[in-house]
């Protein structure tokens, strides 16, 4: 999930994501973990910060369960709290190989 957040909302949004939203998503048991990062390049539009939240699904089936049973309410809570001050886009990736390691 990529989220463009108004700069004056970013601190509150990050705190809420860490303490409320991400724990609620993980509590569905559809994901094995999550990571949140600030996107630095390309630069965010003026007056905003861009964040990337990555959830690791247990399986394609668990992602389907999440989307059908849990996502609507959780996404609505995000929209109710932040409206247009935090605009999310969602994508799904499939990891094709484990990360390369250096020795």
Residue pLDDT, tens place only, 70-87: 999 999 999 999 999 999
Model confidence at 46, pLDDT cuts 50, 70, 90, reads: very high
pLDDT of 62 reads 97
pLDDT of 93 reads 92
Does residue 101 register a pLDDT over 90? no
Pair 44, 14: CB distance under 8 Å: no
- Whole-model pTM: value is 0.90
Query: 69 lies in a domain?
Result: yes
Query: 9 lies in a domain?
Result: yes
Query: 97 lies in a domain?
Result: no
CATH (domain of 48): 3.30.70.100
Q: Give the chain's domain count.
A: 1
pLDDT of 98 reads 81
Query: 81 lies in a domain?
Result: yes
Pair 67, 83: CB distance under 8 Å: no
User: Tokens 């399986």 belong to which residue?
Assistant: 59
Beta-carbon count within 10 A of 84 CB: 7
Domain extent at residue 65 = 2-89
Query: 7 lies in a domain?
Result: yes
Model confidence at 41, pLDDT cuts 50, 70, 90, reads: very high
């Amino acid at each position: 999930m990529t989220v463009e957040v108004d700069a004056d909302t970013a601190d509150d949004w990050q705190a809420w994501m860490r303490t409320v939203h991400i724990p609620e998503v993980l509590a569905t048991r559809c994901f094995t973990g999550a990571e949140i990062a600030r996107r630095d390049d390309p630069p965010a539009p003026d007056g905003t910060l861009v964040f990337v939240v990555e959830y690791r699904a247990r399986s394609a089936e668990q992602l389907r369960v999440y989307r059908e049973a849990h996502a609507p309410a959780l996404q609505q809570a995000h929209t109710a709290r932040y409206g247009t001050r935090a605009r999310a886009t969602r994508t799904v990736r499939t990891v094709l190989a484990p990360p390369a390691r250096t020795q």
